[in-house]
Amino acid sequence: MIGVAFIGVGRMGLTHLCNLSAIPDVRVVVVADARREAAEQGKAIARAERATDDIESAITDPAVDAVLIATPTATHAHLIEVAANAGKAIWCEKPIALDLDETQRIVALVNAKCVPLQIGFMRRFDPGYQAAKRKIEAGELGRIETFRALGRDTYPPPLKFLQGSGGIFLDMAVHDFDLARYLVGEVEEVHAWGATLIDERFQEAGDADTAITLLRFANGALGVVETARRSAWGYDIRTEVAGSDGKVVVEAVQKTPMTFSRRFGYEGDHFENFPDRFAAAYRLEIEAFLAALRAGLPPSPGPADALETQRLALAATRSWREGRPVRVAEVQPTH
């Protein structure tokens, strides 16, 4: 039985908490949130022993073996630090921090404390991407030649979110950058363009709402990542990896596995947003974390993945802002 402290009962927190509550051999010791009423709501959902708005005391509770963090981005680094110093296993939503120096500091601390840490790049756990990974690792594609990823969110986020998000590359395209590393390998160089084509609020936030990033992989493969903050037809996520002998394509065009045909045409539906498109992935990533703890294995994606994927996203951001190709090796902590 693994004792868990669950931190953060917002929109995604509720999704993770419901998934956690369905996993056997897990005891939710405490649910914590800065808003006490949210913590109480989470306690009821998870049938937890207690609720609190004292987050640090929840983490350091002696009955807690693992801490799951689903709080706003700006709090992640501090809460990981508290948990690592307390010797707890940690699962945390991405990113560790928006600042590379802070991410590097936390990764070094986690490694020094020898505590397990998994970062919430959930697409790695989607059954489609898992199947693609198996095909690639088995060599069925031959030599990998190209990678293509397209990500369009359904609705643009509010201005307040944009101002603290880190930008389109670090907040949104980062999922496709992580998939690029997961499926193909490390990226050596990027060239990115960004534009404001959807909403002028993005200019106010110093951000782009539409972007294209070209990738040059260390193994010689080439890639492109297309990112947009709006899709009038629904949540739109597609990925292709092509090799000398074959290719894999991961996409979920329909939400409901039914089409209605008449008058020489047909109708279907799309996923509305990420919680329903990646419902299985959100469940499986928590299951994988707990399974790794039980087996005494390091969970994945871990601290090194958090750091390297962030460097890739920051390289794309720098490329866009400076109008030039950027080698990922250029992006280094300042100390």
Cβ burial of 190 (10 Å; 0-12, 13-18, 19+) is: buried
Domains (range + CATH), the chain = 2-115 (3.40.50.720), 124-282+308-330 (3.30.360.10)
Nearest CA among 243, 196, 252 for reference residue 223:
243
Are the C-beta atoms of residues 187 and 151 closer than 8 Å to each other? no
The predicted pLDDT at position 254 comes to 86
- Statement: residue 160 has pLDDT above 90: no
DSSP one-letter string for 132-198: HHHHHHTTTT-SEEEEEEEEE-SSPPPHHHHHTS--HIIIIIHHHHHHHHHHT--EEEEEEEEE--S
Question: Residue 323's pLDDT band (boundaries 50, 70, 90)?
Answer: very high
The tens digit of pLDDT for each residue in 103-150 reads 999 999 999 999 999 999 999 999 999 999 999 999 999 999 999 999
pLDDT of 317: 98
pLDDT at 335 over 80: no
Q: How confident is the model at residue 165 (pLDDT cuts 50, 70, 90)?
A: confident
Give the separation between CA 239 and CA 150, rounded to whole angstroms: 6
Distance, in Å, from the CA atom of 52 to the CA atom of 259, rounded to the nearest integer, reads: 47
Residue 322, CA distances (Å) to 191, 194, 314 in order? 10, 11, 12
Indicate the pLDDT class of residue 161, thresholds 50, 70 and 90: confident
CA distance 33 to 44: 13
pLDDT (tens digit, 9 = 90+) per residue, 29-83? 999 999 999 999 999 999 999 999 999 999 999 999 999 999 999 999 999 999 9
- pLDDT 10s digits, 238-279: 999 999 999 999 998 889 988 889 999 889 999 999 999 999
Model confidence over 50-65: pLDDT tens digits? Answer: 999 999 999 999 999 9
Asked whether residue 288 carries a pLDDT value surpassing 80, the answer given is yes
CA distance 239 to 250: 5
Q: pTM value?
A: 0.94
210-217 β-sheet, strand order = 247-251, 236-243, 144-152, 222-228, 210-217, 187-195, 326-327
Average pLDDT for 92-112 = 97
